[in-house]
Amino acid sequence: MIPTHLKKGDKIAIVSLSRGLLGMSFCKHELDLALKRLESFGLVPVIMPNAMKDMDYLEQHPEKRAQDLKEAFRDKSIKAIITAIGGNDTYKTIPYLMDDEEFRNSVTENPKIFIGFSDTTNNHLMLNKLGLSTFYGPCLLVDIAELDKEMLPYTKAYFEKLFMNEYSFEITSSPVWYLDRESYGIEQLDIPRKQKEETHGYETLNGSGKHSGKLYGGCMESLYDAFVGNSCDIYEKYHILPSDEEWQEKILFLETSESKPTPEELEKMLIEFKKRNIFHLVKGVIVGKPIDEKYYEEYKTVYKKVLKDIETPVLYNVNFGHSVPRCIIPYNAEVTVDFDQKKIVVNTPVLK
């Protein structure tokens, strides 16, 4: 199922499915800015009832986080859902959603745009299991509420694709990238991020040729946790991850979080993917730029080391995930990756 593209006057729901930052007083300036930005796109923001609860409350009540997502899908007047920010326990919302037949039916009957990144990976994979194509991309607090006078141009351009029903589009490398802010306080309003010229572009680390498949993936740490961590039992109970046959259709996209895992930690995670035969099954891998280019060269070495005995192609340094700026990665969309020419083209419409 693919949702309908946005148009002016559409309602967009704001949900806090992970950390409850949105309602904290120190985030008020970001929330105010985000609401103005959404309105400038012609959208009507709808803050869901529990999205403004404080961090402690939402940490202790994943069912309330889930309730907001249920209500957003039930409400036929809402056309899109954007997450406030990521976190580390989004998987706890899954049982409250997957065990609710009305919710599952709402997703099927009222398909709508769902966008966010980081630990929201858990909700993306759950919704993908239910048949909905979603978007791994900008979230409210760190993208729509970019503290500079405008959204970052590259991020804005890809967010605006949610208003289009393009037959196909290319995911290009941004000419610049930005350092993470040391502070997101009110004193940073109208202050530009420090930017760097992109000197690498896309890099092919393994394999060659053109390969097509359906996009699937997300935050490396969230996926690793689904294999061996706290969320493992939930993923197994609801059969959320693809079967071996389904993996064979995929172009896997992976990126590391703001925790900046060491090369040794990355290697451990990649080895788990390899043990599960995923790198042998998928048609190719797209890797996001590391945040602040921390461990940029070291990560390349790790990918080459882990995949040295298989031919699966790997394209590195793509602008999605925790690095800034961010494109959108449409789940389940057919994509062709040219690993020789270092080009990514989404081949099919991602919105009606």
Residue 147 confidence (pLDDT): 98
Give the three-class secondary structure for 142. helix
| Rounded-to-5 percentages of helix, strand, coil across the chain | 40, 20, 40
Structural contact between residues 128 and 102, judged by C-beta atoms closer than 8 angstroms: no
Residue 91 confidence (pLDDT): 97
Query: In whole angstroms, what is the distance from residue 335 CA to residue 152 CA?
Result: 25
Token code pair at residue 42: 């012609």
Domains of the chain in sequence order: 11-166 (3.40.50.10740), 170-346 (3.50.30.60)
Phi, psi of 28 (to 5 degrees): -60, -40
**pLDDT, tens digit (0-9, with 9 covering 90-100), for 65-120:** 999 999 999 999 999 999 999 999 999 999 999 999 999 999 999 999 999 999 99
Residue 62 pLDDT grade (very low, low, confident, very high; cuts 50, 70, 90): very high
The three-point CA angle 12-146-162 to 5° equals 40
Residue 324 confidence (pLDDT): 98
Residue 134 pLDDT grade (very low, low, confident, very high; cuts 50, 70, 90): very high
Residue 282 confidence (pLDDT): 98
Q: What is the DSSP letter of 165?
A: -
Residue 7 confidence (pLDDT): 97
Residue 79 confidence (pLDDT): 98
Give the three-class secondary structure for 169. strand
Task: Kindly state the average pLDDT of the residues 39-51.
Answer: 98
Residue 12 confidence (pLDDT): 98
Task: Kindly state the average pLDDT of the residues 214-232.
Answer: 97
Average pLDDT value over all residues in the chain: 97
**pLDDT, tens digit (0-9, with 9 covering 90-100), for 297-328:** 999 999 999 999 999 999 999 999 999 999 99
Residue 112 confidence (pLDDT): 98
Residue 267 pLDDT grade (very low, low, confident, very high; cuts 50, 70, 90): very high
Residue 59 confidence (pLDDT): 95
Residue 186 pLDDT grade (very low, low, confident, very high; cuts 50, 70, 90): very high
Phi, psi of 349 (to 5 degrees): -60, 140
Residue 138 pLDDT grade (very low, low, confident, very high; cuts 50, 70, 90): very high
Residue 178 confidence (pLDDT): 98
